[in-house]
Structure 1
Amino acid sequence: MATGSVEDAEDRSRSRSVAFRFVLLFGAVSFFADFAYEGARSIVGPYLAVLGASATAVGMVAGFGELIGYALRLLSGRISDRTRRFWLLTLFGYGISMAAVPLLALASNWPFAAGLLLLERLGKAIRNPPRDVLLSHAAKEIGYGWGFGLHQALDQCGALIGPLLVAGVLAVQKEYPPAFALLLLPALMTLGLLLVARLLYPQPEAAKVTLLDLKAKELPGVFWIYLVAAALVAAGFADFALMSYHFVKAKTVPAPWVPLVYAAAMGVSGAASLVFGWLFDRVGLVLLIPLTVVSSLFAPLVFLG
């Protein structure tokens, strides 16, 4: 009995160790992915303005991009569930996104740039559901809040450094295309690390996670309440592309400083993800209530402040 207990403890320790390394590796993937995308996102608004886009066009591009990025996850999630090709869809989605970002350097008009931005959102819609399935296997072993919080923190570190690099390039070059072109490097790192993760962990489900096979009619009432709340939060969401466009047009923030503002926001988000991920494992869903109330103040502060 004692021997069995020791062996079980060793198995659990080994599973947690493997899961932790997988989360770290995927965190590195997300670090470079957000390095590339968020670096681009930090200057998309002013860039579209330079290319001749109106505020309406920027808002529509940003809004439609988010619609694609979220609505198509339903389709991607369904396909990944049915085919079980989690890695294939993840690789395909990242490939689309990481190709679109540096190509923004070649945009000569705002519709072309808008098309690339929508393509990036399409890639994210394809990759996120299967990627989260892969991560969930590992997060189960080390705690969902800690696992996803750690991953998000690394993700946000990339989202912090990317805009800082872009700000540096803008300070030197005074033009947007070189900044987008430089983002090819983190894009390539993203794809390289993703391939390494695929080779090292071809079956993350080996972490012995039991998944629930839930049908829509079996979902609890609280799920639908949460879904409505999330939809209402999303309805009040404004993409940073529109915010940065407003900053430049209203002259509230100098154009070279815009990516620095975005970097600061990403830094706060990264630190908060670790803290609140840890708290979520202990407090639960109620933690989202005060966080939602505080974050809702962004609109008047940004557009009326």
Structure 2
Amino acid sequence: MPEKDGKPGIRNVYALGFVSLFTDVSTEMINGYLPVFLVQELGATRALLGLIEGIGELANYFFRLVSGYISDRLGRRKALVFAGYSLSAVSKPLFAFAHSPWDALVVKALDRTGKGIRTSPRDALISQSIDEESSGKAFGLHRTIDQSGAMIGPLLATLLLPLIGPRNLFLVSFIPAVIALAILLAFVVDVKTESREARILKGARQVLGNKRLLLVLAAFAVMGLGYYDFSFLLVRSREVGVAADLVPLVYLAINLFHTAVGYPSGVLSDRVGKEKVLVGSLVFFALASIALARTENLAGFAVAVVLYGVFFGSYETVSRAILPRFAPPELRGTVYGVFYIATGLATLAGMTVVGYLWDTAGRAVAFTYSATLSLIAALLFAYSTRIS
């Protein structure tokens, strides 16, 4: 039932959370082992691993811009959300048939395109289901439910890998993805807004007229230029002595801390300011990077895993929750799309550069570079609070 103001309310957030939960079970069954599969079985270098992940994220973020605009223009969100989840569901099992890094790149791009199609309309739908004052709480709740699936997935991978092998694991990932689609169809309520006839660039220009938003986007872009994702930690885990079948447990640990801080960081951001929480998250990323640059043993690596998990949980939650203040509801999908394309371009460059530096200049140089850019981004977020 909708709330009195016509918003579906927190029930929609819960429903979308469980859609994400089962999708994450599917995704993280694969992600918990895929980087090792790419490097050790398909022969990818670290630079190529970064390029594959970066191109996947660029496809993801490009289609977030497109789908955000389309959902604004249509005044509807749910159909695009369903289309995106469907594409990801049918794409992931195709990793079972990859025989080169380039095969994997194509499948990764398809999967992340599906994620891109669904994400901006889904985030806009969450933001329109509740009041803006509670956006941090809502996105934190969604992130926490979502990440519960990100813990179940690696655990299933750890149990299934010795029994069925990685290629069959990729095929089995289709089952929870189908469950997610059923929940979406049955329980998620669409929110209608006034449809728009404006061009996509006009909408983007309108939201980019805000100077504070421009500085916030610049901070996100700088962070993207030094960013590396969990795949680099999983590859590093093999180097410090983690057995191949246990690598998904490393991913489980990252997601455990990610989940633990998601909701609290969202609530905290509503109380003390979202920029302050983002600054704190980037400090955790810098510390994780320093630990990865210096550590040579499992104990130091474990510290890096904890720090990275805390960073990721708070950063992912609050980076999405900060955006509703910069656009009215009818442009909400567009502002998320602009955010995602800016960060996607930066992430493509960052992931490739970090991987290249690791291959050519060594691990210490690569992760020191990441730590430096994250601290510069933190300073930009802090400064953005001074601009009206």
Query: 1:154 and 2:145 equivalent?
Result: yes
Alignment of 1:102 with 2:93, yes or no, is yes
Q: Is the 8 A contact 2:237 2:250 kept in 1?
A: no
Amino acid at match of 2:191: Q
Q: Does 1:182 align with 2:179?
A: no
Aligned partners of 1:214 and 1:104: how far apart in 2?
A: 35
Number of the residue aligned with 2:185:
195
Q: Any stretches of 5+ residues in structure 2 without a counterpart?
A: 195-202, 296-388
Q: What code does the residue aligned with 2:292 have?
A: V
TM-score (normalizing by structure 1): 0.85
> Could you list the per-position Cα deviations for residues 251-271 of structure 1 after superposition, in whole angstroms to 9, with x for gaps in the alignment?
442212211111111111111
Q: Aligned partners of 1:304, 1:72: CA distance in 2, in Å? A: 37
Q: Distance in 2 between matches of 1:304 and 1:218?
A: 40
Using the alignment, how far apart are the partners of 1:113 and 1:67 within structure 2? 15
The answer to whether the 8 A contact 1:138-1:147 is kept is: no
Question: 1:36 touches 1:162 (CA, 8 Å); kept in 2?
Answer: yes
- Displacement over 6 Å in runs of 4+: 13-16
**Aligned twin of 1:91:** 82
Q: What does 1:1-305 align with in structure 2 at a 5 Å threshold?
A: 18-49=8-39, 50-140=41-131, 143-173=134-164, 175-198=165-188, 201-203=189-191, 216=206, 219-248=209-238, 250-285=239-274, 286-305=276-295
- Structure 1: any 5+ residue segments left out of the alignment? 1-10, 207-212
What does the per-residue CA deviation read over 1:122-175, in whole Å, with 9 as the maximum and x for residues that have no partner? Answer: 1111111111111111132781111111001001100111011101112334x2
**Residues 170-202 of structure 1, C-alpha deviation per residue, up to 9 Å, x if partnerless?**
2334x211221221111111111111135xx24
State the Cα RMSD in Å.
2.4
Aligned-partner residue type, residue 183 of structure 2: L
Which secondary structure state, in structure 2, belongs to the residue aligned with residue 113 of structure 1?
helix
CA distance in 2 between counterparts of 1:179 and 1:219 reads 47
Question: Deviation string for 1:230-266 (max 9, x for gaps)?
Answer: 1111111112223323333x24422122111111111
Compared with structure 1, are the counterparts of its residues 171 and 138 closer, same or farther at alpha carbon in structure 2 (3 Å cutoff)?
same
1:244, 1:214 → 2: CA distance? 37
Number of corresponding residues: 284
After superposition, what is the alpha-carbon deviation per residue over 1:12-45, rounded to whole angstroms, capped at 9, x for unaligned?
A: 57967x4121111110000011111122111111
* 1:75-109 CA-partner distances (Å, limit 9, x unpaired): 22222222334222111111111111122223233
C-alpha distance in structure 1 between counterparts of 2:54 and 2:233, whole Å: 12
| Alpha-carbon contact 1:73-1:129 (below 8 Å) kept | yes
Distance in 1, matches of 2:136 and 2:207, equals: 27
Gap change, CA 1:272 and 1:204, over 3 Å in 2: farther
The one-letter code matched in structure 2 to 1:104 is: F
Q: Which stretch shifts more, 38-47 or 49-58?
A: 49-58
Does the 8 Å contact 1:45/1:243 carry over to 2? no
Is this contact kept in 2: 1:170–1:176, CA < 8 A?
Answer: yes
Q: Taking every aligned residue pair, what percent have the same amino acid on both sides?
A: 33
Cα distance in 1 for partners of 2:235, 2:284 equals 24
